[in-house]
Amino acid sequence: MSHSETHPQVSYLEYQGKYKGILGWLTTTDHKRIALLYMYCIVVFFFVAAILGLTMSIEKMRPGQDIMNAQTYNGLFTVHGIIMIFMIVIPGLAAVFGNFALPLLIGARDVAFPKLNLFSWYLYVIGAILAVLSQLLKGGAPDTGWTFYVPYSAGSSTNVIWALTAAFILGFSNILTGLNFIVTIHRMRAPGMTWFKMPLFPWSLYATAWIQVLATPIVGITLLMVIAERVLHIGFFDPALGGDPVLFQHLFWIYSHPAVYIMILPAMGVITEIFPTFSQKPVFGYGAIAISSLAIAFVGYFVWGHHMFTSGISYWSKWFFSFLTFIVAVPSAIKVFNWISTMYGGSIQMRPPLLYAISFVFLFMIGGFTGLFLGALATNVQLHDTTFVVAHFHYIIFGGMGFAFFAAIHYWYPKMYGKMYSDRWAYIAWGFTFVGFNLLYFPQFIIGVQGMPRRYFDYLPQFQWGHMLSGFGAFILLIGLILMAWNLIYHVKRGAIAPANPWKGVTLEWQIASPPTLENFEEIPVIKHNPYWFGTEEEIKREKKSVTRNT
Amino acid sequence: MSTEKHHISTYMSHGVVLTILLALTALSVGMAELHFGAFSVAVALLVASVKGTTVLTYFMHLKYESMFTRIMVGGVFVIYVLVIVLLFFDYLFR
């Protein structure tokens, strides 16, 4: 019996399984529906955390106390950080677009463990509920910052344990997703799809998944140790109990620096899918991009100490971590050169996904270059714990992962919903988002260099111009985000019907219906070409010769 | 892309591995009384590594997996060793 006989060929959005309606969604094991469940949660939490960020910006538009007191401000930046990092940025691209696109890109019907996939989402929801409760329960929102640095977090009277438990559970959700992806990529690639015939988004998810599986348990145990220290008074990290606070920083950053690559590697993967599609030519340097993902993941394990240059670690450790930090820039630069080279000589269509992808490269480059200032020992001491770090971090995470998320949703939206959004509104939303983002964060580089500390509720009047510009930027950014959300939500029902392949993409997801059926492929495809094959071999050779001649 | 191979371990082999793991756990506890000084963490990690390797090899069937998979798991172990070495490197030179 063929698959089409066992499962009627309706889209995954229309498919009625054992349960209908909401219950059908809450019990689904379909990777595409689980991706959407993640996406809806993440978008809601994103707007909550963005509003928190906006109120922080409003408070700082003038020196002194305006709309909140110092303790509320401490709670706000902690809550903003915990939601953004643990509930949005870390799961973000992998859980949403990894879940949606990975099986489609490798020619599989689902991930390897569909029930475990749904369980991961439930763990995510439980962790998210605990994180929200930590803000609302008696005791007050945690005020430690998302880094939970000991000894302060061991003694703070706020709801730190709730937040730690939430981060622990969210971490487990992440581990299980990573495990699922590793097995899926190893075991479920379509016949003929060798490792080097696999698209590059799965390559980046594969590198990410190894970090998720290997690094996340370390922070899980570390957070449990803080809980044990608070509850049982075991002296792991608190000097008053005989512990070592620098050990906490080591263990925290052994995970949390690779976590930056959990955030950014899938972003790079998304961008790598978009450039060839909208340039209508094969990706430049396929092998280099694939291997650079693994190289980033590998070297990324050994650079955590650059977060600790002022914490009192040894001279030789500083030297070593600084050196490795510069090394990790190499594979990142390889990717950027390859993206630009992919566009070179291509038939470029400047549609919204490509606009966001190019913005990603621009913002990620600013974030990357300013990271070199922080990786260098001498400048790090000057810039440590200033708003320069905040700006750098947001250029990497929001400018990088955030804009890649926007690029991904604009790219795969027709496949997800079978509808087209308005390009015009997408361009307008992009304009607000891009201008607002830069106005919000770029001034923080400058006042940071001038000495404005991060996480400060009040400041000297000389920094007001920077905070004032940031405040205006935050409003403009929020307008852009609202416009983008409206454009995408409105057109789910009212958009024009999307064809199966609106962007003329060549990877497997564009060869099936929009939206896909429950099991994606009626027959599992047999792979013969590399994933970015746009024509005959002769055509590709001719194109290469022409590019070389022009060069 | 993979050819599935299944291997069913015997109860006897599971029992032997379980006994070894319990003995190593007892050894871990017992060593806390022996006071190895600066090497106490290293010795504890060594015993934990032996336990981990045993679990991977027999309970998680690594013994019956392809060389590719074994090399990958070996790579993971190398990463952990490097992380721990770097961590203690800081304490050594501080």
Reported ipTM: the value is 0.82
What residues contact A300, with CB distance under 8 A and at least 6 apart?
A: A211, A257, A258, A260, A261, A328
Measured between CA atoms, the residue of chain B closest to residue A210 is: B76
| Number of compact structural domains in chain A | 1
> What does the buried/exposed string (b/e) look like for A212-237 if buried means 16 or more CB atoms within 10 Å of the residue's CB?
bbbbbebbbebbebbbebbeeeeebb
Q: Is residue A449 part of a domain?
A: yes
CA distances from A107 to A104, B45, B54 (A): 5, 42, 35
CA distance B94 to A97: 44
Half-sphere exposure (Cβ direction) of A515: Cα atoms closer than 13 Å = 18
pLDDT in tens, A280-319: 999 999 999 999 999 998 998 899 999 999 999 999 999 9
**A496 inside domain:** yes
Chain mean position to CA B20? 12
Nearest to B83 among A254, A314, A320 (CB): A254
Query: Which residues of chain B are within 8 Å of residue A316 when distances are taken between CB atoms?
Result: 89, 93
Find the mean pLDDT for residues A351-377.
95
Burial class (CB in 10 A: 0-12, 13-18, 19+), A284: buried
Would you say residue A18 lies in a domain? no
Spatial separation of the C-alpha atoms in residues A198 and A273, rounded to whole Å = 12
Instruction: Report d(CA A371, CA A363) in Å as an integer.
Output: 12
CATH of the domain at A278: 1.20.210.10
B11-B16-B19-B21 Cα dihedral, nearest 10 degrees: -100
A4 CB neighbour count, 10 Å cutoff: 12
Provide the CB-side half-sphere exposure for A287 (13 A, CA): 1
| Angstroms from A507 CA to nearest CA on chain B | 18
Coil, strand, or helix at residue A517? strand
Q: Counting every residue, how long is chain B?
A: 94
In which band, very low, low, confident or very high, does the pLDDT at A122 lie, cut at 50, 70 and 90? very high
Chain A residue numbers touching B90 (CB-CB < 8 A): 246, 250, 305, 313-314, 317
Helix, strand, coil shares, percent, chain B, to 5: 80, 0, 20
B19 to chain A, minimum CA–CA distance in Å? 26
Q: What is the pLDDT of residues B26-41, one digit of tens each?
A: 998 888 788 887 788 8
- Given a cut of 50, whether residue A547 has pLDDT beyond it is no
Residue A454: pLDDT band by 50, 70, 90 thresholds?
very high
Query: Does residue A459 lie in a domain region?
Result: yes
Whether residue A544 is predicted with pLDDT greater than 90 in this model: the reply is no
Q: How many residues does chain A have?
A: 551
A473: closest CA of chain B, how far (Å)? 40
Q: Over chain A, what is the mean pLDDT?
A: 92
Nearest to A316 among B76, B82, B93 (CB): B93
DSSP state of A86: I
pLDDT, mean of residues A395-410: 96
C-beta atoms surrounding B49 within 10 Å: 14
Structure tokens at A330: 């190499």
d(CA A52, CA A206): 33
3-state SS class at A229: helix
Contact (Cβ atoms closer than 8 angstroms) between residue A158 and residue A75: yes
Is A24 inside a domain boundary? no
Q: How far apart are CA A536 and CA A123, in angstroms?
A: 47
pLDDT band at B92 (very low <50, low <70, confident <90, very high): confident
For A83-111, write each residue's pLDDT tens digit. Answer: 999 999 999 899 999 999 999 999 999 99
> The domain containing residue A344 runs over which residues?
29-550
DSSP state string for A447-501: HHHTT-BTT-SS--GGGHHHHHHHHHHHHHHHHHHHHHHHHHHHHHHHSEEPPS-
Q: What are phi and psi of A499, to 5 degrees?
A: -70, 170
Instruction: Look at residues A175, A166, A180 and name the one whose alpha carbon lies nearest to residue A255.
Output: A175
Which residues make beta-bridge pairs with A517? A11
Q: Would you say residue A22 lies in a domain?
A: no
List all residues of chain A from 180 to 219 with a beta carbon under 8 Å from chain B: 186-191, 193-194, 210, 214
For residue A172, give the nearest of A209, A226, A216, A207 by alpha carbon: A216
Please report which confidence band the pLDDT of residue A423 belongs to, taking 50, 70 and 90 as the band edges.
very high
Is A497 among the domain residues? yes
pLDDT tens, position by position, A322-342: 999 999 889 999 999 999 999
**Within-domain flag for A81:** yes
Verify whether the Cβ–Cβ distance A315 to B2 is below 8 Å. Answer: no
Question: Distance of CA B27 to CAs A134, A143, B23, Å?
Answer: 40, 42, 6
